[in-house]
A and B are shown apart, each in its own frame.
Chain A
Amino acid sequence: MSRLKSQSTALTDDPLNDICPVCKSNRYLNPTLQFLINPECYHKMCSTCVDRIFTSGPASCPVVGCGKTLRKKGFHKAFFADLKIERECDIRKRVGAVFNRREDEFESLSSWNDYLEMVEGLIFDLVEGTMKEKAKAEETLRAHRAANAKEIEDNKRAGLEAKDVELQREREEKEAVRQRRLAILREQEEDKLDVEKERREMLERLARGDGDANAITKHAQKVILKKSSARRNLAESNFADTANGSAPSNLSIRGLKKKVAPKAELAYDPFGGLDLKPARYTLQSSYENEWLDNAKNNTLHMAGGYSMNEYYSRTMFEAFSGLGIFIGDQVVEKSLPAAPATIGTVGAAEAAGGRLRQEMNTDDVF
């Protein structure tokens, strides 16, 4: 590998670089010399050698100590002079085709980053790892491909679509910039023409000799100024329009992201899926009790909006609270971490139960 590196750095001025390592023919003798590589082993050789050795079918690599079986079909020109980089890019392409998840598939940035790091680790193993690590990474890759074939395909398609949209966007942006430049040019042109025209008119009027020469010149200048500023305003409002016009392309991208969740919308539930109607008793609209009669007939209670129904529902709730709650269940629940989003009034029921006993002693409502 280090040999490869030193070769590549000195590519242009090192004549050794122009010698085929297999047949030793060089560029001096053969100006059309072209080197090919095979991504199986990345040993380079000239196209003549490739033709000579592999035309009659698969053969082993002629480089001493390699011996990998290569096919002619696999040979191609290296894009990078440094074959190490060429190899890494090939590996990245291969891994990228399998691990092609997109950021918006992840719930949080950190999980996305974790995923990226995992993929990067895999790539490193494939590029720099020992034989064992390589084999292991290779195995992971294969397993993942087999397990997620459908998702990979979906993502590939989505990726292509995103690229299309991106290209479209870039094109539109360029077009918008071009339009702007044209508009500015046109405006300048018109400006010039206008000024020219005004000046000519002024001269004509001066030549005709009607009115004060000074006044005519002043007036003409004013007209020119006014016109150009009016045009500027007009142009600005046009720009506003084109800016708005390019907005839908932004929107379409946002929509693309959301396409993942086309869940059917449920009917809006004003109660948010909660039903707090008492299950163990039915609440009556009125209860007879001597103690309550005074309050019922008291104007101060009634005019202030005191609600007997609220009192009934609370008292009934407290009377029944705690029923159907078993300490055994409670202990299990307590061991779970408190989840803030859950809905529960067990605590309220318990607390209310304690308070009720006290009240019963003092007031004895029912």
Chain B
Amino acid sequence: MAVSPLIVPGSGERGPHSKSKLSAASSGNGTPSTTLGSNSLKDVAEQMNEEEKDKYVKGKKVGEGTYANVYIGHHKSDPSNLVAIKKIKVQQEYKEGMAPDAIRELKHLQELSHPNIISLLSVFSSKDQNLNLVLEYLPLGDLEVLIKDIENIHYGAADIKAWMGMLSRAIWFCHENFVLHRDIKPNNLLIAADGEIKLADFGLARSFADPYRVMTSNVITRWYRPPELLFGAKHYSGAVDIWSVGLVFAELVIRNPYLPGDTEIDQIAKICAGIGTPTEENWAGVSKLPEYTVPSPTTPVHGPEHYLGMFGTAGPDGVDLLMKMLILDPRRRITAREVLEHRWWRGEPRATRNEDLPKKGPGSGLSRLGATESKRPGMVEGVARRLDFGA
């Protein structure tokens, strides 16, 4: 730091002024910060935090979650370089410290750096000890939006393969680094400007547990929750994420959630009907799990014909992979590494390149009437055409 200690108070005084202006614009709560107090010398940590915070400018709110608000922002030095700033809400339950979701997200995101995992650019605290995570800005929505927009968005087997490839790489990378994501679903799969899928929301993630250490079975959004968690297993593995990946795969193909259970009981019933009833024959020891209940009569596990009829778009190899992801017994379920070693990836059709993947937004549905008045190349709306002086 080039600032000499003598100048620090002065520069510090300027800091909160500009900040209070900013926060007044964004939150409407313009109480000036009192961090400076009478002894205006700040310690090193505070200075570093201040420095980090000054690198970014917070813009308007773009989303609200249960435990955080998301704002759009940009680098102070480069306004075209956009970021997303996730401001963790102060929660009533956790007055004493930070909410566990925030800690989980922070802890795992700062360790994982992969093209298919959302990257954490910076962290700083604003007034009242509010935690702000600076994440990369992913403007093209999430996979759920694409799946649901049946009218305007059309995609095929090659596109599904590309998306599944990116998702599988993300989850493989998590598992290789001993992180369970535990909340994989289409709307946690964000899409970057270049079409790359990025796994986000590590609010439920945790490291692999040691033996004998219990983990909660109350994780993963219900529709994507594997049977072992529904049966209350306390010791589980990366197989839980693979089940969710399999259901995302199924959802991509049929463009509808495959097993949308209304309650946990209904979810088990849906699994029994859609995949097969977990019994001692196909899953040794399942009946010993604490909350094991299955509806009778039992349904035998479906064969490939059943899946081929429903998910034929993915091709026979794709269906084979899907079936392996949706094996009831978590010990026999395919692992993330084996998923990527599957022959489906190397077969035809080749996965679509990122720039050719379908994207949401205007231009996806070209209206018939506008066809003749389509834009000429080199002509931008509202900008005059460049004169051609070429000889």
Contact = CB atoms under 8 A, between A and B. Distances in A.
Interface stretch (B40-48, B172-180, B253-261): B172-180
A360 interface: no
Contacts of A176: 372
Most buried by A among B136, B172, B175, B210: B210
B288 A303 contact: yes
B371 A246 contact: yes
A267 interface: yes
Given A270-B346, A305-B235, 14 more contacts: A243-B371, A246-B372, A247-B371, A250-B374, A272-B169, A299-B285, A300-B285, A303-B286, A304-B289, A305-B233, A305-B331, A310-B175, A340-B119, A341-B115
A93 interface: yes
Given A103-B378, A253-B377, A304 B208 contact: no
Given A159-B390, A305-B236, A314 B111 contact: no
Interface stretch (A41-49, A69-77, A342-350): A342-350
Interface in B284-304: 284-286, 288-289
A265 to B, nearest CB: 8
Given A243-B368, A303-B288, A307-B331, A276 B176 contact: yes
A25 interface: no
28 contacts: A103-B378, A110-B80, A246-B372, A250-B374, A267-B346, A268-B350, A270-B340, A271-B172, A274-B114, A295-B211, A300-B235, A302-B331, A303-B284, A303-B289, A304-B235, A304-B289, A305-B228, A305-B233, A305-B236, A305-B237, A307-B237, A307-B238, A310-B208, A340-B136, A341-B119, A343-B113, A347-B113, A363-B210
A314 B351 CA distance: 32
B226 to A, nearest CB: 8
Contacts of A300: 233-235, 285, 288-289
A301 interface: yes
A343 B165 CA distance: 17
Contact of B208 (A247, A250, A311): A311
Given A306-B237, A317-B178, A270 B330 contact: no
Contacts of A308: 211
A267 B346 CA distance: 8
B235 to A, nearest CB: 4
A76 B172 CA distance: 72
A275 to B, nearest CB: 10
Contact of A299 (B175, B239, B288, B390): B288
Contacts of B208: 310-311, 314
Given A173-B372, A267-B346, A271-B169, A305 B114 contact: no
A268 B340 CA distance: 11
A97 interface: yes
Nearest to A311: B211
Interface in B144-170: 165, 168-169
Nearest to B339: A270
Given A268-B346, A304-B236, A100 B390 contact: yes
Contacts of B136: 340
Nearest to B341: A270
B208 to A, nearest CB: 5
Contacts of A292: 211
A209 to B, nearest CB: 50
A267 B329 CA distance: 33
Contacts of B121: 338, 340
B266 to A, nearest CB: 22
A177 interface: yes
Interface in A235-260: 239-240, 243, 246-247, 250, 253, 257
B249 interface: no
Most buried by B among A176, A304, A311: A304
Interface residues of B, number: 63
Interface of B: 80, 110-116, 119, 121, 136, 165, 168-169, 172-173, 175-178, 207-208, 210-212, 228, 233-240, 283-286, 288-289, 329-331, 333, 340-342, 345-346, 350-351, 368, 371-372, 374, 376-378, 386, 388-391
B337 to A, nearest CB: 9
Q: Is the interface of B mostly helix, strand, loop or mixed?
A: loop
Contacts of A305: 228, 233, 235-237, 239-240, 329-331, 333
Interface string A70-100: 0000000000000000000100111111001
Interface string A324-338: 000000000000001
Contacts of B372: 173, 176-177, 243, 246
A173 B371 CA distance: 10
Contact of A162 (B235, B236, B368, B377): B377
Given A246-B372, A306-B211, A271 B340 contact: yes
Nearest to A249: B374
Nearest to B387: A92
Nearest to A341: B115
A27 interface: no
Nearest to B196: A341
A34 B168 CA distance: 78
Contact of A97 (B110, B178, B346, B391): B391
A271 B169 CA distance: 6
A93 B391 contact: yes
Contacts of A240: 368
A255 to B, nearest CB: 12
Contact of B168 (A166, A270, A304): A270
Most buried by A among B114, B116, B341: B114
B237 A310 contact: yes
A169 interface: yes
Contacts of B342: 270
Contact of A348 (B112, B169, B289): B112
A295 B390 contact: no
Interface string A112-130: 0000100000000000000
A59 interface: no
Most buried by B among A156, A272, A298, A351: A272
Contacts of A295: 211-212, 235
A314 B175 CA distance: 10
Contacts of B119: 340-341
B368 A96 contact: no
A93 B388 CA distance: 9
Contact of B389 (A93, A272, A302): A93
A347 B235 CA distance: 27
Contact of B177 (A169, A247, A270, A345): A345
A294 to B, nearest CB: 8
Nearest to A102: B378
